[in-house]
Structure 1
């Protein structure tokens, strides 16, 4: 298959990225040069896989102050995990999951949702039409359907923002349920060698909520919030 020809002159590499790279070399890479060299020699051995959203406001490495090689991160629209489906289609998230569990042998998988998620809102907002003729996002977010059923749908007097928040939390739980449809996850979780977690990050407040497996409720990750963190709100 021929590669389509460019229709306009190539733009220069963004200055913001070049500047950021220089800052990285002068600061973090300089401080962690030995670690990068070790990772290059020995390979990665992360204990945690994190499935997050593509949203530019929610960077797992920043939120959890992760060092290079500590987390195996997969990001997609609305931090969704499809159910196990052994067919001939292309499955990016499932392939990453298989690699993390069977090759890297991670011990924890975290599904990280967040407030004001555009993918969740796209599903919840009936008035929003497809973004393109292919409607790739529309097809992808059908995975939210079971989570919407679990919530009972949008309440008659419920605001769209309120429903999006409830749906985001329910979708995290649905993705955890979908993870458990993968045989490798079932086996290792049953043996106590793999642990699944749900988390929700409030963009506006910096508050992190964790899913309590016993109550099914999301609770603050830490007992006392930092002084700079605003009161609890899941938005």
Structure 2
């Protein structure tokens, strides 16, 4: 998943980038609202974290402009502890949730995961596509109740495909949402990860969880389990 952080506090911004990169996200950042607006309009993000007290363009105006331009990715706003009015304004402008400073890294992680799941219609942290189960909190994958060892890149690729089950995703889209901004988009890295996932998830070729549509991209084929909340 690709995240945008717009925060003018250098220390906090740097720590957020470090923390979320370590969590396996592709992370871009901006120090003011003007650069944040440019980046949000230039690239496709799965979620934005926006501080309300920004220079150049304040956070409320930034959120308002993003929503008016049709950017519908989830937005998590950062606010001061006593600024309840700003929380209300942020939500009314189009933000999806807020987090009060200072906050614990685990709370940030939980809110991001909840917003990403909600954006893709998944109500719980367990994505079930019998016999495959993805636990987004533990970042684990089981097949027929047996754990499958995946690298972080393999897991991220599988999760993005699964969250967009039934949709055809191009190699370019996958690369933009999963990997760093300066990643070589002409490389065959996506093909490598897809190949590894097929070998680990479907060694005998009976499940066919991922299809390749020549010239178009890839599609996750497994339907959600009947009891899976939508």
Q: Give the TM-score normalised by the residue count of structure 2.
A: 0.29
Larger-Rg structure: 1
The structure where strand makes up a greater share of residues is 2
